Structure 1
Amino acid sequence: MLASDRYTNMIYLDNSATTQVRPEVIDAMLPYMSRSWGNPSSIHALGRDAKDAVTQAREHVAALLNCDADEIYFSSCGTLSNNCALLGRARFAQANDKGRHLITTRIEHPSVAGPCQYLESQGWKVTYLPVNREGFVSLKDLEAQTTSETSIISIMWANNEIGTVQDIASFARFASERNIFFHTDAVQAAGKIPIDLKSLPISSLSLSGHKFHAPKGVGILYVRKLQNIMPIVFGGGQEMGVVPGTEGLSNIVAIGKAAELAGREMNQNREKLLAISKLFKQHLSQVDGLIFTGASLLTQRLPGHVSFVLPGLEGEAIVMRADLKGLCISSGSACHKGIIEPSSVLKAVGLSDQQAKASIRLSASSFNTLDECTEAIELLAKILNAMKLSSDAGLSGAIA
Structure 2
Amino acid sequence: MKIKNEFFFFIKNEFSFSKTKLIYALKITIAASIGGAIAFYLSYYKQIGLGWWIGSSIFAIPSITLAASLKKGIQRVNATFLGCFVGFILSLIIEKNNFLFILFTLITTSIWCTLSFGSKKFSYQYFLSGILSLMIMAALFENESPLYLAIARIIDTIIGVIITLVIFYCLWPKRQKIIWQVFEHEKIIVQKLSLIYEHKSNSILHEKELNSMLNRRMEIQIIDELSLLKQFQDDIKLEFFEKDKKIKLINETFSYYEELFILIKSLPKFSITEGKSIAHLSQIKPILEQIFSKISQSIKENKLNSEIELLFHELKEKLEISAAQKEFLNYSIISNLKFYSFIDSSEKIINKIHFHMKSNQNEIRISGFK
TM score, norm. by length of structure 1: 0.27
Q: Select the structure that is richer in helix.
A: 2
Q: Select the structure that is richer in strand.
A: 1
Larger Rg: 2
Q: Using CA pairs under 8 Å that are at least 6 residues apart, name the structure with larger relative contact order, 1 or 2.
A: 1
